[in-house]
Amino acid sequence: MIRHRLTRLALSACVFGVFASGSASAKDYFLKAERVEIPVQDVDANGAPVTVMVPMWGYAQCAAKDPNQCGTATVPGPEITVKENENLSVFVYNDLKTSAGDHVELDAGRTSFTVAGLRLRLNYGPIFWGPSKFDPAGDPDQPRRVRSMTQEARPGQWQRYSWLWKQGDLKPGTYIYHSATHPAVQVQMGLYGPMTVLPAAASEVYHGVSVDAAVDIFYSEIDAAFHADVDKGLDGYNPIPQPGNPAGARTSPLVYSPTYYLVNGKPQVDGVFAPTWDDPASGGVTGAFYDRKTLVRFRSAALRSRIPMTTGATAFDVIAETAEPYYAPPGQEVTVAARRQNAILLPALTTKDAIVQGGKEGATLIVDRALGETNAGGMNTFLVLPDKLQVYPPVCTPAGNLIARVRTNSSLGDQQVINFKISNGTPADDLIINNVPAQAQFAGKWQYRSILVNSPFCAPGTVVTLSAMSGSGGFHSDTVTIE
Amino acid sequence: MAKISISKAALAVSAVALGVTGGAFAGVPGYVDPTPGSANFDLTVDAGYISAADGSVIYMWGLHTPDRSLMQYPAPTLIVNEGDEVSITLTNCLDGEAAAENTSLIFPGFDVTATGGVAGAATREAAPTCNAADSVTYTFTADHAGTFLYQSGTNISVQSEMGLGGALIVRPTGFLHRDEMDIPDARPTADPTVATEDPFNYVPQSGNQIAYGTGTDFDYEYLYVLTDIDPDIHEMVRIGDMAGAKSRDGKAVYWMINGRAGPDTFFANDVPWLPTQPYGSMTQMQPGQKVLVRTVSLGRDLHPFHTHGNNLRVVAVDGNLLSSVPGSGIPDLGFSDFTVSGIPGQTFDGVFEWSDLGMGWDIFDEATQHPVEWHEPSARTDGTHGGVIPVSLPGIPDLTFGGFYSGSPYLGSFGQLPPGEGGLNLNGGFFYMWHSHNEKELVNNDIFPGGMMTMLIVEPFLDGNGDQLVIPRGSIFEKTAN
Amino acid sequence: MNMIREREKGSKMTSRRVLLSSAALAVCTWVGSGMTASAGEFYQQCPGPVNAEGEVLDGVGGQVIRMDGTTTSIDLPAASVCYHIVGGDGFIRMADGTPLYSFGFSPLADGQNPGTRALKSNLPAPLIRAVQGQKVYLTMSNVPFIIRPDLFDPHSVHWHGFPNASAVFDGVPDNSISPNPLSSMTYFYNVARPGTFMYHCHVEAAEHMQMGMVGNLYVEPAQDFLPDGADLNGFTHNTGDRYAYNDGDGSTYFDIEIPLQINSYDGAFHKAHYNVQPLPFAEMEDTYPMFNGRGYPDTIRTDVFLNANPDFPGTTGTGLETFAQPLSSLISAAPGDKVLLRISSLSTVDYYTLVSPDLKMQVVGQGSEQRVGPDLGAGSPSKAYYNTHQLTLGGGQSYDVIIDIPDNASGDIFFLYTSNLNQLANDQQDYGGMMTEIHVQ
């Protein structure tokens, strides 16, 4: 049992004041739903490595409401982050295709968008199939069936979705967004992604709950045979067979047997924790210092329940599910009654938030105790809680030099050295500075190491990542966009 | 459709065992180290076989202590005291098995230091050499009390299925077994003016049987390790097809409590015909008593564990007391439910109580002239003392009788049964099924009944001979392993 | 007479026992089987004559006995309530049109002879409701199977979650008695606690429950019957107000209540049963995920489905059809309404996760108990309610949740469905399964 005290009562009053004046700032996201092939490193029947290309439907983020200004689709989709006082709109462009490059005929080619846990402000849905679609012979009493729970994006067109009726509608929390059209197929195909709503108060993740860092662990599953069938178009998956259609296609999503178990978009082999600059968290996520508070945002778009379990001393204080904190007593937003667990039930298409603090420094393997793993790897990830090393967000001087600052704990010892890396995303530009002495002369205290770097990193708009690693101090990094 | 019943012959054996050994089922059988302040265990991984109650045998990987030559399923229950320095040395004797590989142990919730062996994803691992030089020693301080699990930390998706997991119980500071239960002389007397002792007012002769703090005291404790088995995976591992085992979408067809499928669950601990499955799960109590239900889930699926008879008040999850005041020992955030999910990787503790309060009729036959003190609370005003069952029951030709039915609806009484019926209820107790409520899991492969199912017996205060019935104190069968 | 009846001590008997005449001949003749009935007779036991609701007319209201031993006098609608159900077989229609052979319980009016009905399987079984403090006399008559005359299965009633249950009325065949075909048994329950329970047959549980002998059961709290204007810590009770629990503060008040039970079918298992094949227990896997015995979109229909199979001669157009799937899962509410969902699962195979993505659910109870928190010294325990958009239930679990219909939702449609998305199917038919709708007026 831990309790988090609200320290923001006064602040929230200010926030409400802002809203009373109706000056919520707009925040727009542009997503393109499209077909993408995701490579999975598997082994074949003989145990030899093989790369399987899985056809999926994913979301690509676009710079503007222009399908030609989009990146590549990913699964899960790009993270949507918004403050509770911002007026979020998501524009979705429908570019779903079959393997042959045709527009998808399933669901009349439509797709749509929703955020589980948030009610749309203007819902022009739901959209229904008429009963005659399913039984031409006709059961006149059988009602229509929902196709899309929210308004649809037609092939080659944009559709807008927004949520904010009034202050309080966009509740802080950990969400999953996904297609609201025929979710049994479209979500399974990959149309889902993470969304986070932050409170107006800077350090909070929920009203009354502050943490030092937050990390994302997102589980999903792939049934490769199902993807292949849907990718063929109506020849492979046809829920409403009509006279003249080829026989043999799947008609229902019922039969389901996942072949790949993904964490943060890929199956992870449960290898030894071995951080490198290329993969400094070694297939995991890095939180705050182990004695500080790290929020782990667990999301699952799997169709079956998953069960993240700690393998070490780091226990989970579960504070919320589906973006609803366990406030105690209920009805206020002051104190959260956390539920401390070593394993967390994470049901299909839901989220849970857990705070980790204390326990074990360094890397702890988090496994899916529902045993989601195959030869390609599975839902294994390392939760890295650095113990003696922390980087500060890099800043630029007026002269265009970058200051890299690292804080170390004296327990790192005089003999220890720190390795720095500064990156702008282009590997050729990486600046690596090794063997900087820790120089822990202040017993029991933290000390700071700053390095001034003449570099091309300070151009406005550059995304700079500062990383630091030491033999026993762990790894930490932070990323900023230079303004 | 031919129905297959629980073998009466097999259960007769169980009944005999129950009768001969008295309360042979009470308590949590497990291993302790009597050394104050420390607990050292040597565990060996071996391959072996278990019986699935439908006659089939299943290839397993299991752990065992040096006093046993065969692996056991589930792994040995380890019982330590809060504050103990626990040290567990793991030796991997899977050498010679077709799919031999490294293995390791994790203790979620404890800060473990591992020495020896080789580095692995979760912890250090022991290579399958059966050589002490490759052993790994895991040490930690048992710094909080409760019910925990330990299991393999290597190739978890397969080794969990194969059987490498068990329960770890940490006794709280101040825990003390009762030397003997205070069973009052509740024998009815012909003279109603002679007061009888209140059977519900237990005054422990000594001891402090608590799971966490004062709010979790109990009369008896029992452990239920819930697992499930997909035998196809076991067969793939047996023949060395680890890739096949890993890629299979596991589908259990056996469901077990303490490593046994029903009705083997009814048998006593350590019966000789189940050499690799030493733990039974038959549960006994008397009206008004408190049973601590320690539950550990080590399967791949969730199992809704249903306690017939009454709700279970869950007081702790994963060894964490559900309390609003840390350190108080009072589970004021506990919740009551009639079916509690066993979630793989989790443990939960619940307190189960049963009495006749609110029944609306007297569970004791009026003919026994029992004292009012047999009811709880004896001072209640609902007028059920002496009240007969309010409906008439159908006649014998109209009924099918259960083997655990005494022939009487009254506790401690017997009635007429057709020849060959009943006979498994020695004291006229009330039997309640505790089981997975996903009823598919009440089968052993294609054979009903079986599976994840055991029984609670609410025993009367007098046995079938009219003598005082004493269930031995909880937490017996602790033994040292070395 | 037998040993048990001799023990009855007739002078203390409180219930009358009515012989309903043997139905053996009628049923057997109709089936044409060679059944040789033994001494089977149908009986109903009830302490007095009843009204249409099954309430005993000579009841005088009563006393609520709480589980802590205290008692409260309160004006109950009736001191006792009597139900009579029959266990038999019939057909349940899946949303893709497939009729599946089923076992089930169906209702009978007071004094009605079970033998006058033919196909007898409801899904879910008749709703059993009682008020805290009442005594329930539940008679179950076992009529022989019509479709499977080769079977002679006993049935039983298990009131799932009944607190401090006795063994004899707990319905577990191993531990008690189960009435054979052509006989009746009356179960007695002194209803001490309110809450959402469920009931089912416990004989051959994996088979009989998969086959459909499952139903809703809940107990209304005594607080519903407080005098008009009673003060509940600041909440004023008005006659007719209803609550999920004796909350003491009106926090479980609701306008509308909907029992929503998960009970799903494995089509192959039911077809194997119909075809007298070995029952595939190990392969059991539900292919028709349902609420209250219907798959989407039948879940939102408000009409009653008849118990019929056009392929089974004599059940269509013969007057032998009886209603089989009486319960809609459509949630129809007005803006501002508080909707109590009494959610339970009697799935025999799987856990299901239900989601209400748009409207949050406040969990006020689970497992027939109000969720209460620590006693903070105010004299009564605090509440441990929590909000969520998901509930994950295995068989035998229940939750009480309250949904607040938003004021600005007039005309809206919301969805309640399983997020195990592949279960949104009626076997091989898509756009179905475990889903229902909330229609806001």
List the pLDDT tens digit at each of the 441 positions of chain C. Answer: 222 222 233 333 344 556 654 333 222 222 222 233 334 678 888 887 777 777 776 555 555 555 455 566 667 778 889 999 999 998 899 999 898 999 999 888 777 777 755 567 899 999 999 999 899 999 999 998 888 989 999 999 999 999 999 999 999 999 999 999 999 999 999 998 999 999 999 999 999 999 999 999 999 999 999 989 999 989 999 999 999 999 989 999 999 999 999 999 999 999 999 999 999 999 999 999 999 999 999 999 998 877 666 665 545 554 555 678 889 999 999 999 999 999 999 999 999 999 999 999 999 999 999 998 877 665 567 889 999 999 999 999 999 999 999 999 999 999 999 999 999 999 999 999 999 999 999
Strands, sheet with A417-423, edge to edge from the N-terminal-most edge strand: A431-437, A417-423, A463-470, A474-481
Q: CA A109 from chain center: how many Å?
A: 27
To the nearest whole Å, the CA of A348 is away from the closest chain B CA by 14
Where does B197-335 have alpha helices with state H? 231-238, 242-247
Q: What value does the mean pLDDT take over residues B291-306?
A: 97
H, E, C per residue of B15-55: HHHHHHCCCCCCCCCEECCCCCCEEEEEEEEEEEEEECCCC
* Closest Cα in chain A to C298: A142
- Determine whether the interchain pair B345/A307 forms a contact, defined as Cβ–Cβ distance below 8 Å: yes
Do C54 and C23 touch, CB atoms closer than 8 A? no
Q: Tell whether B385 is within 8 A of chain C (Cβ).
A: no
What is the signed CA dihedral for B450, B453, B454, B457, rounded to 10 degrees? -110
Number of alpha carbons in the 13 Å side-chain half-sphere of residue C235: 17
Chain B residue set in contact with A, beta carbons under 8 Å: 106, 108-112, 119-123, 153, 155-157, 160-161, 243, 246-247, 249-250, 300-302, 317-320, 322-326, 333, 341, 343-346
Residue B312, domain member (yes or no) = yes
- Determine whether the interchain pair A315/B323 forms a contact, defined as Cβ–Cβ distance below 8 Å: no
* Closest Cα in chain C to A143: C297
Task: Give percent of chain A with pLDDT exceeding 70.
Answer: 86
Q: Which range (A435-439, B379-383, C377-381) has the least confidence?
A: C377-381
Compute the distance between CA of residue C53 and CA of residue C61 in angstroms, rounded to an integer.
15
The residue with greater pLDDT, A344 or B324, is A344
Backbone angles phi, psi at B126, to 5 degrees: -100, 130
Return residues 286-315 of A near B (CB < 8 Å). Answer: 305, 307, 309-313, 315
Query: Which one of B103, B322, B343 makes the best mutation probe of the A interface by having the most chain A beta carbons within 10 Å?
Result: B343
pLDDT tens digits, one per residue of A156-177: 999 999 987 777 789 999 999 9
**At B150, is the pLDDT very low, low, confident or very high (cuts 50, 70, 90)?**
very high
- Determine whether the interchain pair C429/A252 forms a contact, defined as Cβ–Cβ distance below 8 Å: yes
Return residues 252-281 of A near B (CB < 8 Å). Answer: 257-259, 270-273
Do B277 and B259 touch, CB atoms closer than 8 A? yes
Q: Tell whether B336 is within 8 A of chain C (Cβ).
A: yes
Decide the pairing of beta strands C214-220 and C125-131.
Answer: parallel
Which chain B positions have a beta carbon within 8 Å of A311's beta carbon?
106, 108, 122-123, 153
Which chain A positions have a beta carbon within 8 Å of B121's beta carbon?
270-273, 365, 380
Q: Each residue of A33-50: b (16+ CB within 10 Å) or e?
A: bbbbebebebbeeeeeee
- Determine whether the interchain pair B106/A337 forms a contact, defined as Cβ–Cβ distance below 8 Å: no
Which candidate, C245, C190, C181, C187, places its Cα nearest to that of C380?
A: C245
Which candidate, A353, A335, A207, places its Cα nearest to that of A287?
A: A353
- Determine whether the interchain pair A370/B344 forms a contact, defined as Cβ–Cβ distance below 8 Å: yes
Residue B451, domain member (yes or no) = no
Q: Which range (A4-13, A77-86, B407-416) has the least confidence?
A: A4-13
H or E element at residue B236: helix B231-238
Positive/negative CA dihedral, C219, C222, C223, C229: positive
Which chain A positions have a beta carbon within 8 Å of B243's beta carbon?
43, 45, 47, 375
Which chain B positions have a beta carbon within 8 Å of C187's beta carbon?
391
Which chain B positions have a beta carbon within 8 Å of A258's beta carbon?
249
Do A295 and A355 touch, CB atoms closer than 8 A? yes
Compute the distance between CA of residue C202 and CA of residue B425 in angstroms, rounded to an integer.
20
Q: Tell whether C106 is within 8 A of chain B (Cβ).
A: no
The C-alpha angle with vertex A254 and arms to A250 and A257, in degrees rounded to 5, equals 95
Which candidate, A22, A93, A84, places its Cα nearest to that of A57?
A: A93
Cis bond upstream, residue C163 (ω within 30): no
Which chain A positions have a beta carbon within 8 Å of B155's beta carbon?
270
**At B434, is the pLDDT very low, low, confident or very high (cuts 50, 70, 90)?**
very high
Compute the distance between CA of residue C287 and CA of residue C267 in angstroms, rounded to an integer.
6
Q: Each residue of C171-194: b (16+ CB within 10 Å) or e?
A: bbbbbbbbbbbbbbbbbbbbbbbb
pLDDT at A344 over 80: yes
H or E element at residue A356: strand A350-356
Q: What value does the mean pLDDT take over residues B467-482?
A: 60
What is the signed CA dihedral for C263, C266, C269, C274, rounded to 10 degrees? 70
pLDDT at A137 over 60: no
pLDDT for res A470: 67
Q: CA B397 from chain center: how many Å?
A: 37
**Closest partner CB to B445 (pick from C3, C151, C282):** C282
Which candidate, A119, A120, A170, places its Cα nearest to that of A15?
A: A170
Residue B446, domain member (yes or no) = no
Cis bond upstream, residue B263 (ω within 30): yes
Q: Tokens in use for A450?
A: 């700053």
Residue B406, domain member (yes or no) = no
**Closest partner CB to B446 (pick from C273, C282, C394):** C282
* Local structure of B239: helix, strand or coil: coil
Residue B413, domain member (yes or no) = no
Which chain B positions have a beta carbon within 8 Å of C163's beta carbon?
310-311, 358
H or E element at residue B430: strand B430-436
Compute the distance between CA of residue B414 and CA of residue B419 in angstroms, rounded to an integer.
14
* Local structure of A270: helix, strand or coil: coil
pLDDT for res A419: 78
ipTM for the predicted complex comes to 0.91
Q: Tell whether C382 is within 8 A of chain A (Cβ).
A: yes
pLDDT for res B13: 39
- Average pLDDT of chain B is 86
Q: What value does the mean pLDDT take over residues B351-355?
A: 93
Q: Tell whether C187 is within 8 A of chain B (Cβ).
A: yes
Compute the distance between CA of residue C335 and CA of residue C324 in angstroms, rounded to an integer.
32
pLDDT at B20 over 60: no
Strand pairing partners for A219?
Answer: A263, A300
Query: Which one of C306, C351, C358 makes the best mutation probe of the A interface by having the most chain A beta carbons within 10 Å?
Result: C358
Q: Tell whether C379 is within 8 A of chain B (Cβ).
A: no
Q: Which range (A340-344, B86-90, B360-364, C377-381) has the least confidence?
A: C377-381
Compute the distance between CA of residue B43 and CA of residue B294 in angstroms, rounded to an integer.
22
pLDDT for res C3: 28
Cα distances (angstroms) measured from residue A248 to each of A88, A97, C49, C291: 43, 21, 61, 30
Note down the domain range covering B78: 2-177+209-354+474-480
* Residues found in chain A: 483
pLDDT for res A412: 52
Residue B132, domain member (yes or no) = yes
pLDDT tens digits, one per residue of B170-201: 999 999 877 555 444 333 333 444 444 444 44
pLDDT for res B2: 35
Residue B283, domain member (yes or no) = yes
Touching partners of C (3+ C-beta pairs < 8 Å): A, B
Compute the distance between CA of residue C137 and CA of residue B389 in angstroms, rounded to an integer.
12
Compute the distance between CA of residue A411 and CA of residue B377 in angstroms, rounded to an integer.
61
Residue B283's CATH number: 2.60.40.420
**Closest partner CB to A145 (pick from C297, C408, C413):** C297
Question: How is B379-428 classified by DSSP, letter by letter?
Answer: T--S--TTPPPSSPPPPGGGEEE-TT--SSSSTT------TTS----TT-
Q: CA A25 from chain center: how many Å?
A: 24
**Closest partner CB to A142 (pick from C297, C353, C413):** C297
Q: Tokens in use for C90?
A: 């019939």
H or E element at residue B235: helix B231-238
**Closest partner CB to B304 (pick from C168, C188, C394):** C394
Backbone angles phi, psi at B242, to 5 degrees: -65, -35
To the nearest whole Å, the CA of A286 is away from the closest chain B CA by 16
Which candidate, C191, C15, C170, places its Cα nearest to that of C178?
A: C170
Decide the pairing of beta strands A324-325 and A377-378.
Answer: unpaired
Q: How many domains does chain B have?
A: 1
pLDDT for res A422: 85
**Closest partner CB to A324 (pick from C386, C408, C428):** C386
Which candidate, A224, A226, A231, places its Cα nearest to that of A100?
A: A231
pLDDT tens digits, one per residue of B97-145: 999 999 999 999 999 999 999 999 999 999 999 999 999 999 999 999 9
Q: Would you give the DSSP letter of residue A237?
A: B
Q: Tokens in use for B129?
A: 């050499």
CB pairs under 8 A between B and C: 285
Question: How is C383-398 classified by DSSP, letter by letter?
Answer: E--EEESEEEE-TT-E
Q: Tokens in use for A94?
A: 């429908």
- Determine whether the interchain pair C175/B405 forms a contact, defined as Cβ–Cβ distance below 8 Å: yes
**Closest partner CB to A326 (pick from C360, C386, C392):** C386
- Determine whether the interchain pair C419/A347 forms a contact, defined as Cβ–Cβ distance below 8 Å: yes
- Determine whether the interchain pair A380/B325 forms a contact, defined as Cβ–Cβ distance below 8 Å: no
Q: What value does the mean pLDDT take over residues A384-393?
A: 75
pLDDT tens digits, one per residue of A6-49: 222 323 333 333 333 345 688 999 999 999 999 999 988 777 89
The C-alpha angle with vertex C309 and arms to C306 and C314, in degrees rounded to 5, equals 95
Query: How would you class A25 by CB atoms within 10 Å of its CB: exposed for 0-12, middle for 13-18, buried for 19 or more?
Result: exposed
The residue with greater pLDDT, A278 or C4, is A278
Residue B195, domain member (yes or no) = no
Q: Which range (B357-366, B388-397, C57-66, C410-419) has the least confidence?
A: C57-66
Do B424 and B15 touch, CB atoms closer than 8 A? yes
Q: Tokens in use for A206?
A: 């929920």
Question: How is A372-435 classified by DSSP, letter by letter?
Answer: -EETTEES-EEEEE-SSEEEPPPEE-TTSEEEEEEEEEGGG-TT-EEEEEEE-S-GGG-EEEEE
* Residues found in chain B: 482
Q: Which range (A316-330, B41-55, B411-425) has the least confidence?
A: B411-425
pLDDT tens digits, one per residue of B215-267: 898 888 999 999 999 999 999 999 999 999 999 999 999 999 999 999 999 99
Do A338 and A357 touch, CB atoms closer than 8 A? no
Do A376 and A266 touch, CB atoms closer than 8 A? no
H or E element at residue C363: strand C361-366
Q: CA A431 from chain center: how many Å?
A: 28
**At A273, is the pLDDT very low, low, confident or very high (cuts 50, 70, 90)?**
confident
- Determine whether the interchain pair A329/C427 forms a contact, defined as Cβ–Cβ distance below 8 Å: no
**At A473, is the pLDDT very low, low, confident or very high (cuts 50, 70, 90)?**
low
Compute the distance between CA of residue B19 and CA of residue B358 in angstroms, rounded to an integer.
31
